[in-house]
Structure 1
Amino acid sequence: MVKREELLRSIDKNSRISISELAVMLGENEIDVANELKALEDEGIICGYHTMIDWSKTSIDKVMALIEVKVTPQRGIGFDSIAERIYKYPEVTSVYLMSGGFDLMVMLEGKTLKEVASFVTNKLSPLDTVLSCSTHFILQKYKEHGTILTKKYDDTREIFTP
């Protein structure tokens, strides 16, 4: 029987790992690992496979922002309805229900600061249950999904002692 927790942790670290590599790591046969992956997908536990890209190292213009949103939850459905309205916009990459000083955290991306600001002003803020928005632009990513994106400079000079 394939251990789900170990399987999930392994693919969470590297979604490109092959079934044969997983089988060796878990001490299972490939068919059992493949069947367990399929079952996890069918149950909605595995929701997708993603590539992490450091866009700052490409020539593609991309601006990312974190938007703190305060809303008035709707009677009987809470925050789900407004979250759904927000996550349907293609610019929105993530929506989280939060505890603390705001209700929803919305991650979005655009080509320019102006484009992102326009989304907040023209699409997000006017929603009837939105009370306020606070926009934070992401200037530099250092670590994402457990992966360090910046590498320290290695000093390769030889040490000289007189």
Structure 2
Amino acid sequence: MVNRDELLRTIDKNSRIGVEELAVILAAPEIEVANELRALEDEGIICGYHTMIDWSKTNIEKVMALIEVKVTPQRGIGFDSIAERIYKYPEVTSVYLMSGGFDLMVMLEGKSLKEVATFVTNKLSPLDTVLSCSTHFILQKYKEHGTILTKKYEDTREIVTP
């Protein structure tokens, strides 16, 4: 019997781990692990597998922004309809309903600051239930999805003793 919780925690940290290694970690037969993974996918618990890339170390120009959006919820459906309209844009990578001063947090990617600003001005702000937006550009990522992206400064000076 495969421990679902342990399986999910393990692949959440490393989605590239193979069924063979998972079977060893979980002390379960490979076929049971493979069947459990398939069942989790079929149930919509596992929604996808992603690679985390530090784009700042590539030649690909990317600007990432976090946009706080205040909206008027619609009667009977709340925030779902406007969230769906927003997440269908290809530039949008994530949409979250949140508590606080804004209702939605939208994360998106563009090739330039201007491209992101144009998206907010021409696509997001004109939506009929959007009341206001606040755009924040991501300047540096330090940790993402539990992974530290920056190396800690190491003092490489030699110790001098008298």
Instruction: Give the TM-score category using the shorter length.
Output: over 0.9
Structure 2 counterpart of 1:124, one-letter code: L
State how far apart, in whole Å, the 1-side matches of 2:101 and 2:36 are: 40
Q: In the TM superposition, what is the alpha-carbon distance from 1:154 to its structure 2 partner?
A: 2.1
Q: In the TM superposition, what is the alpha-carbon distance from 1:157 to its structure 2 partner?
A: 3.1
The residue number in structure 2 matching 1:105 is 105
The SS at the match of 1:161 is: coil
Write the mapping of 1:76-155 to structure 2, written as runs, cut at 5 A. 76-155=76-155
Structure 1 counterpart of 2:14, one-letter code: N
Number of matched residues?
162
Q: In the TM superposition, what is the alpha-carbon distance from 1:159 to its structure 2 partner?
A: 1.3
Write the mapping of 1:26-37 to structure 2, written as runs, cut at 5 A. 26-37=26-37
Structure 2 counterpart of 1:96, one-letter code: Y
Structure 1 counterpart of 2:74, one-letter code: Q
Q: In the TM superposition, what is the alpha-carbon distance from 1:160 to its structure 2 partner?
A: 1.4
State how far apart, in whole Å, the 1-side matches of 2:29 and 2:159 are: 51
- Deviation per CA, 1:107-127: give whole Å up to 9, x if none: 000000000000000000000
In structure 2, stretches of 5+ residues that fail to align are none
Q: In the TM superposition, what is the alpha-carbon distance from 1:152 to its structure 2 partner?
A: 1.5
Normalising to structure 1: TM-score of the pair? 0.98
1:50 lines up with 2:53 in the alignment = no
The SS at the match of 1:93 is: strand
State how far apart, in whole Å, the 1-side matches of 2:161 and 2:80 are: 66
State how far apart, in whole Å, the 2-side matches of 1:35 and 1:2 are: 10
State how far apart, in whole Å, the 2-side matches of 1:154 and 1:74 are: 53
In structure 1, stretches of 5+ residues that fail to align are none
Structure 2 counterpart of 1:22, one-letter code: L
Structure 1 counterpart of 2:69, one-letter code: V
